[in-house]
Chains A and B, each alone.
Chain A
Amino acid sequence: MTTMTDAPASTEVRRGRLRLSGVRKVLGGKEVVSAVDLETEPGEFLTLLGPSGCGKTTTLNMIAGHLAADGGLIEVDGRDITTVPPHRRSMGMVFQSYALFPHLTIADNVAFGLRMRKVGAAERRRRVADMLELVGLDGMAGRHPRQLSGGQQQRAALARALVIQPDLLLLDEPFSNLDAQLRVRLRDEVAALQRRIGTTAILVTHDQEEALAVSDRIAVMAGGVIHQLDRPQEIYLRPATDFVAQFIGEVNALDGTALGGGACEIAGRTVAATPAGEPPAKGAAVRVYVRPEVVRVGHDGDGLRGTVRETRFLGSRIRCVVATPAGEVTAALPYDAAVPQEGEEVTCTWRPSDASLAARA
């Protein structure tokens, strides 16, 4: 089967700088999106990541114009589009439900936006054929949506959205209806295709692994607020808030007192991490976030001392839990690490750049 990535590259477009400034939305008397600020680079793949109900779809609908913002400014390439109706915004949208037009063939679905733009028949046919080839659906032009599998329908929806060369590609949980294997494959193909075509993409998802895998940057949302907007590695290794730390993967959250800069004292030991934002004042209550993958368990260096409670073989990693005076510290050790025995006295260390430190509420 052809995949999206071995098709010929199309022309590069370098536009689609989206900017939201203080965008708000009240629904049913509740502020579901509060003062959201974000700006994309042209061609960037930006993800809104957060739990269900945090306001991601609402934000996307305001970007697309299906919902009017109750405050703030939405701009694309410097043009204020806050009150522009959806059909004058040039946004390709892809939905969890595929949302193809059931009475039209795949080719006619893809041609829809070109028809609306009054593109001539010959050019329309050519562009539809090119796009179907690009998403690996060349043989399917004459079929109807219900004759296609879920993955094929979503490729068709993607082709329909991209063929108009939109300012923005908006994806609302596009992989959530697919089974696990297909989900991973399609998401990687979409990411690769987006990078080739260069259309700015905004993805909405609640799946943190998906967000980490495809995004240039991730905006982690909760309760209508962006908690952190950064590259995936930053989000993962150096969470800025307790919510970000807990929402994405497993984390060791260790309470201590600031010593100035990135240094802090935890249970009588001095450790270091990277401050998220302004370094907390000396003596302030802080919390250090360390991912299990960056914890090293050994016998020297500055770190937390403790006793190995258990070690467990987990297939890809070896999980080691160390009981320290500051609480349990979990380490996910690679195979080549020296695996300590249960009951052994050890020191847990990490590189300061691999952990973050934030003021504790």
Chain B
Amino acid sequence: MTRLTRLLGAAFATLVGLFLIAPVAVTVASSLTATSYVTFPPQGLTLRWYGEVLAKPEFLSSFALSAGVALAAAALSAVVGLAGGLAIHRHRFPGRAALEAVLSSAFAVPTIVLGIGLLQWFAQMGLASSPFTLLLAHLVLTVPYAVRLVLAGLSGLDRSAEKAAAGLGAPPFLVFWHVTLPAVRGALIGGAFFAFITSFDDLTVALFVVTTDLQTLPVRIFNYMQYDYDPTVTAIGTLMVLFAVIAVVVIERFVGVAKLFGADTQERS
């Protein structure tokens, strides 16, 4: 590589990084402003807006709802993804091809269309809006992804390894535990991670599914901003970023984010 292309590459990477970081930096900075309106650069320095957030119980309950639904979506996506992936990978059943097609095209459906559809469907089923219907709606978004990740993991698994384990004395459950599960471990963590973020982040679908007394955090922020555009909003935004960073650090600590996206890292021994 020549000096010039290396330089251009570095410049490009820096620009992309700036482009990604800038909105976050602006949000964080404006949450510290002493003015009662959002402005950048911030004027003065105060933590007052963070106090405002904590003083508003509706924000805290929305956070609890969002986090709870996101955690449930993560866990269920992993479980359903595993079961679905195994079923598709191992068994020939009627409708298998159709199921695979639906799963891979699920991404293409705009979330707003999905939201309208679910609203209609829940209404017709007589399902009242609840954390449960919200979870159901989010699973529609996250399960296809989890299944596809598990399928990718399984395609890297050598069935012979399972046969070898059985021959060495492992009953079916232990074959699954010691051979099959490690092959999809990264896929399950990745699927759960994706599900958590997707659910925690979702505004579009939630807008259709929730009622006034059941608002997820993004919906709460969205509604709040229509009437009061004060720095409370940027303070919450900053807290959400912080929450995500902590989540990534915790996962990195225990699993390694790189591994979760399939990078072939050297095993530490």
* Cβ-based interface call for B161 (8 A): yes
Complex interface residues of chain A between 98 and 132 (CB less than 8 A to chain B): 99-103, 105, 112-113, 116-117
Also in contact, A97 and B160, with CB within 8 A (given A103-B182, A105-B269): yes
Interface SS of chain B: helix
* Cβ-based interface call for A269 (8 A): no
Complex interface residues of chain A between 153 and 174 (CB less than 8 A to chain B): 157, 160-161, 164, 166, 170
A112–B178 CB distance below 8 A: yes
Size of chain A's interface in residues, with CB distance under 8 A? 34
* Cβ-based interface call for B79 (8 A): no
A164–B163 CB distance below 8 A: no
For residue A100, which residues in chain B have a CB less than 8 angstroms away from its CB? 161
A101–B161 CB distance below 8 A: yes
Please measure, in the bound complex, the distance between the C-alpha atom of A97 and the C-alpha atom of B158, giving whole angstroms: 8
For residue B183, which residues in chain A have a CB less than 8 angstroms away from its CB? 102
Of all chain A residues, the one with the shortest Cβ separation from B166 is A86
Which residue, B160, B171, B172, has most C-beta atoms of chain A within 10 A? B160
Q: How many Å from the CB of A338 to the closest CB on chain B?
A: 54
For residue B163, which residues in chain A have a CB less than 8 angstroms away from its CB? 61, 64, 66, 86, 93, 95, 99
Please measure, in the bound complex, the distance between the C-alpha atom of A150 and the C-alpha atom of B185, giving whole angstroms: 25
For residue A85, which residues in chain B have a CB less than 8 angstroms away from its CB? 166, 171
* Cβ-based interface call for B167 (8 A): yes
Render A10-44 as a binary contact track against B, CB cut-off 8 A, 1 for contact.
00000000000000000000000000000000000
Question: What are 25 pairs between A and B in contact, CB < 8 Å?
Answer: A64-B163, A64-B167, A65-B166, A66-B163, A86-B166, A86-B167, A87-B170, A92-B167, A93-B160, A93-B167, A97-B158, A99-B160, A101-B179, A102-B161, A102-B183, A103-B185, A112-B165, A112-B178, A113-B168, A116-B168, A116-B169, A116-B170, A161-B167, A164-B168, A166-B167
**Interface residues, chain B, with chain A CB atoms under 8 Å away:** 158, 160-161, 163-172, 174-175, 178-179, 182-183, 185, 267, 269
Which 4 residue pairs of A and B lie closest in terms of their CB atoms, listed nearest first?
Answer: A113-B168, A116-B169, A99-B160, A86-B166
